[in-house]
A and B are shown apart, each in its own frame.
Chain A
């Protein structure tokens, strides 16, 4: 080993980190080499100088400053946790209660909305047509303003069919209007506001029709028509009735069933029945009255599937 190798090992030699063999080699070299001995001495002094540096005291405020910052950090952490979870004994029951309340509300809302979604009721056209025809036929009939459609007044006896306009309840008062004893009041519901999906339509009727109805009350018959689709037959029924010189004095739609009250001459009933057969299956529930003249036919239109039930 030359001086360079020895000086490389001086640091480890000083700390006795060399093997026994290496320690002996370095010792032997140092005895004979003043240069390396001086290097060892310098090294010892260097370490001594380094170690002699006194320990400094940290500033007295250090602990307080550290702990102030640490407590701020702790408060920050705690603040977030508190928002989310604390105090558990209040928050957990509250969250459970809120969840249950939301579930119950959702259930009721769903129940209330579901029928509207599943059973749309677009049946409106017949009433409009009939109303239009009636307006043409009976100009003297008391008219209900459009905004007052909530209430329609139908005089029962033909002699009282025409009432002065001032007897019609004003808008806004319609709900509270007291029905005269001699009149049948039918509340019309708008399709969007219907609670039970029943759409009832009632129109002002001509006195002649009402007279016919009064007569026909005595001669009524029932008829049921089973069709595949109740939504599309109403116009066909109406056409057939008109063609035979009859009148539809009432039409209703309840739960996908149509109800017509038709005034028709008894001689035309058979023809009407034949016309109905083109639309579906006809079942006569009540026999045709033997007396002549007009007869009231209560026609019920149902979906074929309902017959199975």
Chain B
């Protein structure tokens, strides 16, 4: 490990020497962020909790292989993103096998969701849990490559450099994907909420 500007540098060094208690500090420090990344990618609270557990265990197993080419949190995010993608594929495959679920959103006969009411302004509506769920559904419906950049940039606020490291993409690709992701998201939200 060479990146001694990383705030996790000392703790990770201790973990690499087999200090399990040091790893607990890592878990405490990063669990919320990692959980939220996974939650926004999978759209499921319990699945996200499972993914984060798996991600931390995987990080512990492989921590000796961490060389510090990026920050530890970036490395950890990459694990969470990969596991979340895999978990989401499983969720979608399961949904295809079980097409009718009581947890499915209510849809109209033409396959579209119920049209939203425009009576209440959007900011007020956002206060509601249901509104957040609809935004989440739109994020979940994005293609994998678009969802990743939206979650990392617009929700988690990572810099372009960090996103490039996590997804191993060029900055131009990240920006292009982000623009298209936002356009898709805007279309989805308009369909769900009416006027924004």
Tell me whether A74 and B18 are in contact in the complex, defined as CB-CB below 8 angstroms, given that A51-B155, A58-B32 are known contacts. yes
Of the A-B pairs whose beta carbons lie under 8 Å apart in the complex, a sample of 23, sorted by A's number, is: A11-B178, A11-B179, A42-B196, A46-B185, A47-B154, A50-B135, A50-B139, A50-B185, A51-B154, A53-B40, A53-B135, A53-B136, A59-B49, A62-B31, A62-B53, A63-B28, A66-B31, A66-B53, A67-B24, A71-B20, A73-B57, A74-B20, A74-B60
Across chains A and B, the number of contacting residue pairs, with CB separation under 8 Å, is 97
- Give every chain B residue within 8 A of A74 (Cβ-Cβ): 18, 20, 60
B72 to chain A, nearest CB (A): 16
- Give every chain A residue within 8 A of B31 (Cβ-Cβ): 58, 62-63, 66
Beyond A46-B185, A49-B189, A62-B35, list 4 extra A-B contacts (CB 8 Å). A17-B175, A54-B132, A70-B23, A74-B18
Distance A42 CA – B55 CA, assembled complex (angstroms): 36
When the two chains form their complex, are residues B60 and A73 in contact, meaning their CB atoms are under 8 A apart? Answer: yes
- Give every chain B residue within 8 A of A47 (Cβ-Cβ): 154, 182
Distance A150 CA – B39 CA, assembled complex (angstroms): 91
Cβ of A57 < 8 Å from any Cβ of B? yes
Which one of B28, B35, B122 lies within 8 Å of A56 (CB-CB)? B35
When the two chains form their complex, are residues B155 and A53 in contact, meaning their CB atoms are under 8 A apart? Answer: yes
Cβ of A133 < 8 Å from any Cβ of B? no
Cβ of B45 < 8 Å from any Cβ of A? yes
- Give every chain A residue within 8 A of B28 (Cβ-Cβ): 63
When the two chains form their complex, are residues A12 and B179 in contact, meaning their CB atoms are under 8 A apart? Answer: yes
When the two chains form their complex, are residues B135 and A69 in contact, meaning their CB atoms are under 8 A apart? Answer: no
Distance A53 CA – B134 CA, assembled complex (angstroms): 10
- Give every chain A residue within 8 A of B60 (Cβ-Cβ): 70, 73-74
- Give every chain A residue within 8 A of B95 (Cβ-Cβ): none
B128 to chain A, nearest CB (A): 12
Q: Which residues in chain B, 170-196, are within 8 Å of chain A measured between CB atoms?
A: 175, 178-179, 182-183, 185-186, 189-190, 196
Cβ of B78 < 8 Å from any Cβ of A? no
Among A12, A46, A58, max chain B CB count under 10 A is at A46
When the two chains form their complex, are residues B126 and A49 in contact, meaning their CB atoms are under 8 A apart? Answer: yes
- Give every chain A residue within 8 A of B154 (Cβ-Cβ): 47, 50-51
Cβ of A83 < 8 Å from any Cβ of B? no
A267 to chain B, nearest CB (A): 98
When the two chains form their complex, are residues A56 and B36 in contact, meaning their CB atoms are under 8 A apart? Answer: yes
- Give every chain A residue within 8 A of B27 (Cβ-Cβ): 63, 66-67, 70
- Give every chain A residue within 8 A of B57 (Cβ-Cβ): 66, 69-70, 73
Specify the main secondary structure of chain B where it touches its partner: helix
- Give every chain B residue within 8 A of A55 (Cβ-Cβ): 32, 36
Among A50, A51, A55, A63, max chain B CB count under 10 A is at A50
Q: Which residues in chain A, 101-142, are within 8 Å of chain B measured between CB atoms?
A: none
Which one of A43, A50, A65 lies within 8 Å of B53 (CB-CB)? A65
Distance A53 CA – B40 CA, assembled complex (angstroms): 9
- Give every chain A residue within 8 A of B94 (Cβ-Cβ): none
Cβ of A183 < 8 Å from any Cβ of B? no
Distance A205 CA – B190 CA, assembled complex (angstroms): 126
When the two chains form their complex, are residues B49 and A52 in contact, meaning their CB atoms are under 8 A apart? Answer: no
The proximity string for A residues 19-50 relative to B, scoring 1 for CB distances below 8 Å and 0 otherwise, is 00000000000000000000000110111011
Cβ of A305 < 8 Å from any Cβ of B? no
Distance A69 CA – B190 CA, assembled complex (angstroms): 43
A54 to chain B, nearest CB (A): 7
Cβ of B61 < 8 Å from any Cβ of A? yes
Distance A306 CA – B150 CA, assembled complex (angstroms): 98
Cβ of A8 < 8 Å from any Cβ of B? yes
- Give every chain B residue within 8 A of A46 (Cβ-Cβ): 182, 185-186, 189, 196
When the two chains form their complex, are residues B139 and A57 in contact, meaning their CB atoms are under 8 A apart? Answer: no
Which one of B20, B36, B49, B122 lies within 8 Å of A45 (CB-CB)? B122
Q: Which residues in chain B, 1-59, are within 8 Å of chain A measured between CB atoms?
A: 18, 20, 23-24, 27-28, 31-32, 35-36, 39-40, 45, 49, 52-53, 56-57
A58 to chain B, nearest CB (A): 4
A204 to chain B, nearest CB (A): 81
Distance A46 CA – B40 CA, assembled complex (angstroms): 16
Distance A89 CA – B71 CA, assembled complex (angstroms): 39
- Give every chain A residue within 8 A of B56 (Cβ-Cβ): 66, 69-70
- Give every chain B residue within 8 A of A11 (Cβ-Cβ): 175, 178-179, 182
Residue of B nearest to A59 (CB): B49
When the two chains form their complex, are residues A43 and B186 in contact, meaning their CB atoms are under 8 A apart? Answer: yes
Residue of A nearest to B185 (CB): A46
Distance A47 CA – B154 CA, assembled complex (angstroms): 7
